[in-house]
Amino acid sequence: MKKLRIGYIGAGNFTNRRNFPHLAEHNVELVVICDLIEEKALKAQQQYGFQKVYTDFEKMCDQEDLDAVFCVGPHRVHYAVGMKILERGLPLYTQKPPAANGQMAQEMADLAKAKGVVYHVGFTLRSSPAFRDMKRIIDSPEFGKPTGCIVRYLVRPGADLRASAIDMNSHAVDAGRFLMGDIKELKVVGVGKQPGKRNYVATAVFENGGLGTFNFFSDLHSASMCSFEVIGEGAWPEGRMLISGSTTGGRYYAPESPRGGLPIGELKEGEGTHHASGSWGDVESFLNAVRGIAPSVSPIESAAKTMHDVDNIIAQLEALGGA
C-alpha cells in the first residue's frame, strides 16, 4: 500500500497529546509540519520525524506534493484555513468543531462536495472501541430499533456559553446522533445563570421516533465526565447498553447475558490510550477514506448537522437567559 504524503498544520498541545504520538503508525510519509510559531514546528520535526518545516500553510501547499492535509487548532482556524485547503482540492482532516456554527460548517460541507474531496471531522468518540461496539450492536436485529438514549456530559462553567457548547458538548450531541440517528426536534430546559455553575438539559426526538435526553452539568466529576445509555426495543424488553465514565468500555445487558452484562469496548493486545479515546481509529478512518478503502466515519456532512443542533441548543438557552 502506497504511503500517503501528509502535511500537518498545527503543532499545539492537543495534537501533541492525541495525534502526533501515533501518526507514523498509519503508513504515511510525514512530509511537512506547519505552525505559525516556528519553534513549535521545529520541536515536532525533531520529536516525530517530519521532513520539512513551514510557517505559512499556503507556501506549504504551493511547494509540496501532498496527498492529504491535517489542520488542528481552534475552530476559527479549521474554518479559515480549511476552506482554502478544500478550495485546492486536497483531502482535509480537522478536529471538532469544524467551525463556529452550523452555517459555516455547511459551507465547508458544500465546498468539499463540490471539489469531490474527503473532509473528515475529528469527533473521536465515533472511533473509540466502545462506541464502535455500541453502534454494531444497535444496528443488529437482536437489539431492534433504538428507542431511547440517555446522555450525561460535563459542561465547563467558566467558559462562555457558546464556547463551552461547541467545544465540549458538541461531542455529546454528535455521539447521540451517531448512535440514534438524526435529531428531529430539540427542547431545552435550564435553570438560568448560577454562580460557578452551568446546568441544562436538552430533550430530543430522533427521526427514527426514539427519544433522548442530553444532560449537561458542570457539577459532574471529571472522572465520570460522560455516560451514554441506549435502549433498544429488541426481543428482550430490557435490552440496553451503558458506557459510563469514559470511552474505555461499557456493558451490554442482553438476553441471557450474565448478571452485570457483557463487556464492550475492550482493548486488544497492544492497544493503549490512543485507541481507547478514539484518536487512533479517528485518524485511520480519515486515511482509509482518502485511500478509498472505506467511507469516513465522521464526514463533514454529518458534522454540519451536529453543529446545527448545537446552534439550536445555544439559541434556546440564550432565550431562557443563559446558563
Please list the alpha-helical segments (H only) found in the chain: 13-18, 20-23, 38-48, 57-63, 75-87, 102-115, 129-138, 161-164, 170-180, 273-277, 279-291, 300-319
CA distances from 87 to 42, 105, 119, 192 (A): 28, 15, 12, 42
CA distances from 72 to 156, 243, 246 (A): 21, 28, 23
Tell me what pLDDT residue 244 has: 52
Tell me what pLDDT residue 242 has: 62
Rounded-to-integer distance, Cα 90 and Cα 293, Å: 17
Q: Which long-range contacts (C-beta less than 8 Å, at least 24 apart) are formed by 262-269?
A: 264/129, 264/130, 264/133, 264/134, 264/137, 265/128, 265/129, 265/130, 265/131, 265/132, 265/133, 265/134, 266/129, 267/129
User: CA gyration radius for the chain?
Assistant: 20
CA distances from 117 to 90, 93, 110, 111 (A): 7, 11, 11, 9
CA distances from 123 to 168, 228, 304, 323 (A): 11, 15, 12, 24
Rounded-to-integer distance, Cα 157 and Cα 159, Å: 6
Tell me what pLDDT residue 258 has: 74
Tens-digit pLDDT profile for the chain (323 aa)?
Answer: 789 999 999 999 999 999 999 999 999 999 999 999 999 999 999 999 999 999 999 999 999 999 999 999 999 999 999 999 999 999 999 999 999 999 999 999 999 999 999 999 999 999 999 999 999 988 988 888 899 999 999 988 776 888 888 988 899 999 999 999 999 999 999 877 777 788 999 999 999 999 999 999 988 877 778 889 998 887 554 556 665 545 667 888 776 677 777 888 889 999 999 999 999 999 999 999 999 999 999 999 999 999 999 999 999 999 988 76
Residues 6+ apart with CB under 8 A from 215: 150, 151, 152, 153, 201
Alpha-carbon torsion, ordered 285, 287, 291, 293, to 10 deg: -20
Rounded-to-integer distance, Cα 118 and Cα 298, Å: 10
Tell me what pLDDT residue 31 has: 99
pTM of model > 0.85: yes
* Grid coordinates given for 235: 426481543
Q: Which residue has the cell 453543529?
A: 307
Would you kindly state where each structural domain of the chain is located, as residue ranges? 4-123+278-297, 126-270+307-319
* Grid coordinates given for 60: 506549504
Do 126-270+307-319 and 4-123+278-297 fall under one CATH topology? Answer: no
Rounded-to-integer distance, Cα 130 and Cα 242, Å: 10
Rounded-to-integer distance, Cα 163 and Cα 315, Å: 13
Q: What b/e sequence results for 113-131 when a residue is b if at least 16 CB atoms lie within 10 Å of its CB, and e otherwise? A: eebebbbbbbbbbbbbbbb
Fold for the domain defined by 4-123+278-297: Rossmann fold (3.40.50)
Rounded-to-integer distance, Cα 198 and Cα 219, Å: 8
Of the CATH numbers 3.40.50.800, 3.40.50.300, 1.10.3720.10, 3.30.360.10, which one belongs to the domain with range 126-270+307-319? Answer: 3.30.360.10
